[in-house]
Structure 1
Amino acid sequence: MALTLDEAKLDQHRTAILEALDNDDLDIIANLFSDELAVADIAHLLESTPSRLRAALWAFVDEDLQGEVLTNLNEDIQQSFLSRMSAEEIVETTADIESDDLADILQQMPADVSSRVLQLMPSDNRIEVEGLLAFPEDTAGGLMNTDMVTVRADVTIETVLRYLRKIDLPDPLDVLWVVDRGQRYLGSLAITQLLKSKPNVLVTSVMDQRIDGILATESEERVAQIFERHDLVSAPVINDDGLLIGRITIDDVVDVIIDNADHNMMSMAGLDEEDDAFAPVVKSSQDRAVWLGINMATAFIAAAVMSQFEASIAQIVALAVLSPVVASMGGIAGSQTLTLMIRGMATGHITRANLSWMIMRELGVGLINGSLWALVIGGITVLWYQQFSLAFVIATAILVNICLAVLSGTLLPFLLKSARIDPALSGSVILTTLTDVFGFLTFLGLATLFLL
């Protein structure tokens, strides 16, 4: 197979394949798939092809590559192909993929199907995969694979080299993991250090103890932070007793980083990062209808608050015109803080230890920006309505609402996380509701007190 193509070349191939499908010219498709497309390219093409055409393209994927292609597909499309296979076909298709990838696939399948697949697997592979399935897929144990090389600390470099010549080496291989006789993790031995060391030197004298073992129960976000902070290519995974049970490689961590970025972006619109962009209209409509319903409910909460001031609005029509300005300014200020907090929590820079400092910082930012824009909007109101009292009310409401918004944006992610709710998924909706309610209450309440 060829190296992965660049985006422009891939677009040309996609166009050629779609035209060949329209013209029923199957030879062109077969040639492209067999000669030029790498596994990642094939997966990309399948993901960017309308769902009704994917089954036709799947038939051109070499049977020896289908398992690898499946691991590169998003979950919706991956499961759509697997749902058409029998358990026996799934076992055959996934026979050559890494055990951690297979475990991820099985966790997305119905329990009865995954159980049947496990029963049909060779016993050695089944035991290995079942060990990985014991951990949730979003933990270090779910990310790890057991394909690694361990050596003891009390042997010589010459012994290690002889051992390596006799076994099948995993790919990639940048370090060997050093353990004691009880399989407890002690440190690492880089391949470069192995090659530079003298044959009669003991492993214990040249091994590196700076890489700590990652607990299997550690979250995948924490794993990504460890890799980023220490520039790791691979890392050992240990259980609660300190026993080495697997390793995590950088390719899996890159997937975590991309998935988390996709999740945060898509969740703000109530969408799933694994959603198929080419899914049928009815399915996409159903997925999005729920989020629209939630937003409708929150909009009615804000409307209910406004309805309490109908008499005030009826007497001063300008209140109805200016109310959205107050709510909008608070919403933007709160969203800026919320986004900053979610990113900081994801990278590990913002924790409960420095939360109080963040609160004071964001309130300071809110006071400065709130004062600035209160003056600007107050001035515009004077020019527009020639009422200094109305300008004072809206300026005060802007200042108060922006401060309340940044305070909500700072605290909300921590409150949601404590309640085991994803801040990226629900934070923006809750924050928008709060800033609308605070804005209307502040502006209309002050107007009722001072203008009527």
Structure 2
Amino acid sequence: MAEAVRHDKTARQLRLLSDALDSGRLGPVRRLVNTLSPAEIGNLLESLPPGKREVVWGLVDPEDDGEVLVHVGEEVRESLLAEMDPDEIIAAVEDLDIDDLADLVEDLPDTVIDEVLKSMDRENRERLEQVLSYPEDSAGRLMNPDVVTVRADVNIDVVLRYLRLRGELPDHTDHLFVVSKKHQYLGRVPLAALVTHEPSTPINRLIDDEQPAIDVEEGSPEVARKFSDHDWVSAPVVDDNNILLGRITIDDVVDIIRDQAEHQALSAAGLDEEEDLFSPIRRAFRRRMLWLGINLGTAFIASSVVQQFEGTIEKLVALAALMPIVAGMGGNAGTQVLALMVRGLALGQIAGSNVYVLLRKELGVALINGLGLGLLLGLIVLVWFRQPGLSLVIGTALTLNLLTAAAGGVAVPLVLKRMGFDPALAGSVILTTLTDVMGFMSFLGLATLVLL
């Protein structure tokens, strides 16, 4: 419900912007844009075609430029950066958090990167280089090295004086992290405890050591799962020696979850979640041509199976009208199982210990569906063509193909993951080919054996 309301709001804002831009009235556009958050501005910019996007981008408050760049996709970001002078880019990114700057820096022109690094103090430059040294989808790349740490051997009064001296806290700070003299992570202290206990209370009496730290090499999907399971707002990141390196906050995890959802939705169609909605025709053509070419190749595989039964189809023309039903039902059933498997693999819910239980369950569901739908389809064919043998053949073929779809839906993503491929990207093509081939082969093969 909330998502639908947000989409309606974005659609209304988009209509207002488009109408104002079409009429040449930039004043209302500027006022509307400057009432929005950076994330909302980024969403609107992604919804506008290039010409209008450039106009609106020029009306964004320069203080928001950096945050807006963080909230748009890679292709849109490149187009926005192309409209900016080097000095404007430097001014936009200089106040960003280290983790956000790490997301942007690889998209910046080399000359601008050098100037950005020169404008940073030594400590922040080393922090940025540290974050960039980790793999892109790791906790190290997500973390912000700017953390507030305290020692266990001091009391609340000392901590409060330190916080007043510091002046401000990083965003989403709900806990202070407690470290040893060697900067090893010991636990955390909630901010609320600092104001609900006596100033003389030692920090070591308030330490919560139950929250596990996140390893710096841990993958971002696992990080997102832990945040979801434990309702964290922030979490510490440590290395192999338990040295505190930084922290990950909930806003970064929300971005991960959104990116994962977009990836699963788009990769099944061979699309990239970073692709601009209004990307140039040539670029979109290059990206999609490969995927369509692969699909064309798999279609020929299925067609070659049909060709083997050309004589059967010539004698029983009704087969030509019915065989897409068997293949299509298998494809739909396989897609359902594949979606469950991809989600389970992404959430870490599928392991060797439960694969066979899952396979038996899916085969059982497929068998029941196959028998029920096969009986229904057989009755329809009997009424339609008045051929009991044909009814038996199509009902049996449908059941066999649904069983194939279930087995393939479980096995294909597991094999792809074992081989290092993305199941969400390649699984649908392979599984559809499998169910098409099995559907045509079982239906036409049984028809050849039973009806001729």
Normalising by the residue count of structure 2, what TM-score does the alignment of the two structures yield? 0.93
Give the root-mean-square deviation of aligned CA atoms: 2.1
1:88-99, aligned counterparts within 5 Å? 88-99=87-98
Alignment-derived partner of residue 344 in structure 1: 344
> What residue is the counterpart of 2:123 in the other structure?
124
Letter of the structure 1 residue corresponding to residue 406 of structure 2: V
CA distance in 2, matches of 1:190, 1:285: 53
Kept after mapping to 1: 8 A contact 2:89/2:112: no
Q: Which residue of 1 aligns with 2:264?
A: 264
Matched, 1:283 2:290: no
Indicate the SS of the match to 1:221.
helix
Change (3 A) 1:31 1:374: closer
1:178 matched to 2:167? The reply is no
The equivalent residue for 2:247 is 247
CA distance in 2, matches of 1:21, 1:384: 58
AA matched with 2:246 = G
The alpha-carbon deviation at position 147 of structure 1 amounts to 1.5
Within-5 A mapping of 1:346-365: 346-365=346-365
2:37 maps to a residue whose letter is: A
| Deviation of the 1:98 alpha carbon | 1.1
Q: Distance in 2 between matches of 1:314 and 1:402?
A: 26
| Greater shift in the superposed pair: 278-287 or 98-107 | 278-287
Aligned pairs for 1:55-134 within 5 A: 55-85=54-84, 87-108=86-107, 112=110, 116=114, 119-122=117-120, 123-134=122-133
Q: Distance in 2 between matches of 1:136 and 1:395?
A: 51
Greater shift, 287-296 or 167-176, is seen at 287-296
Deviates more, 1:280-289 or 1:68-77: 280-289
> Compared with structure 1, are the counterparts of its residues 386 and 7 closer, same or farther at alpha carbon in structure 2 (3 Å cutoff)?
closer
Q: Which runs of 4+ in 1 moved over 6 A?
A: none
Amino acid in structure 1 at the alignment position of 2:214: I
Cross-structure match for 1:233: 233
Point out the more displaced range, 92-101 or 339-348.
339-348
In the alignment, the residues of structure 1 paired with residue 14 and residue 389 of structure 2 have an alpha-carbon distance, to the nearest angstrom, of 63
The verdict on how the C-alpha distance between 1:411 and 1:6 changes in structure 2, with shifts beyond 3 A counting, is closer
The amino acid of 1:106's aligned partner reads V
3-state SS of the aligned residue for 2:150? strand
**Aligned position for 1:24:** 24
Is 1:413–1:423's contact at 8 Å kept on the other side of the alignment?
yes
**1:90, 1:117 within 8 Å by CA — same for their partners in 2?**
no
CA contact (8 A) 2:94 2:116 kept: no
Instruction: Specify the SS of the correspondent of 1:59.
Output: helix
Aligned mates of 2:151, 2:114 — CA distance in 1: 38
1:106 and 1:114 in contact (8 A); partners too: no
Q: Distance in 1 between the 2:320 and 2:10 partners? A: 53
Is the 2:46–2:72 Cα contact (8 Å) retained in structure 1? yes
Question: Offset at 1:340?
Answer: 1.2
> Is the CA contact 1:87–1:116 (under 8 Å) kept in the aligned structure 2?
no
* Residue aligned with 1:146, SS: coil
1:374–1:109 distance in 2 versus 1, CA, 3 Å: farther
> Tell me, what secondary structure is at the counterpart of 1:187?
strand
8 Å CA contact retained: 2:20, 2:29: yes
Could you report, residue by residue, the CA deviation over 1:175-215 in whole angstroms, capped at 9, with x for unpaired residues?
Answer: 01111111111111111122222322322221111110101
Separation in structure 2 between the aligned mates of residue 117 and residue 402 of structure 1, nearest angstrom: 60
Task: Give the 5 Å matches for 1:366-381.
Answer: 366-381=366-381
Go from structure 1 to structure 2 and tell me whether the alpha carbon gap of 1:126 and 1:364 turns closer, same or farther (over 3 Å shift): same
TM-score normalized with structure 1 length:
0.93
Question: CA-to-partner distance for each residue in 1:238-275, whole Å, 9 max, x for gaps?
Answer: 11221110101011111111111111111111111222
Aligned-pair CA distance for 1:221: 0.9
1:134-176 CA-partner distances (Å, limit 9, x unpaired): 1123211111111210111222222222211111321221001
What is the alpha-carbon distance in structure 1 between the residues aligned to residue 405 and residue 8 of structure 2? 44
Give the distance between the partners of 1:414 and 1:117, measured in 2 at CA. Answer: 46
Distance 2:292 2:115 in 1: 38
Identity in percent: 46
Q: Deviations over 1:303-346 (max 9, x none)?
A: 01111111222222222222111111211111111111112222
How big is the shift at 1:439?
1.0
Residue deviations 1:93-125, cap 9 Å, x none?
Answer: 201111111101123457x46753554342333
Contact 2:139 2:217 (8 Å CA) reproduced: yes
| 1:385–1:11 Cα change, 3 Å | closer
Q: Does 1:331 align with 2:306?
A: no
1:59 and 1:306, CA in 2 relative to 1: closer, same or farther beyond 3 A? Answer: same
Separation of aligned partners in 2, 1:385 and 1:226: 57
Change (3 A) 1:10 1:361: closer
Deviates more, 1:425-434 or 1:372-381: 372-381
Structure 2 distance, partners of 1:240, 1:348, is: 22
What is the distance in 1 between the residues matched to 2:68 and 2:113? Answer: 22
What are the Cα deviations for residues 377-415 of structure 1, in whole angstroms up to 9, with x where unaligned?
A: 222222222222222222221111111110100111111
Q: In structure 1, what is the Cα distance between the partners aligned to 2:33 and 2:320?
A: 61
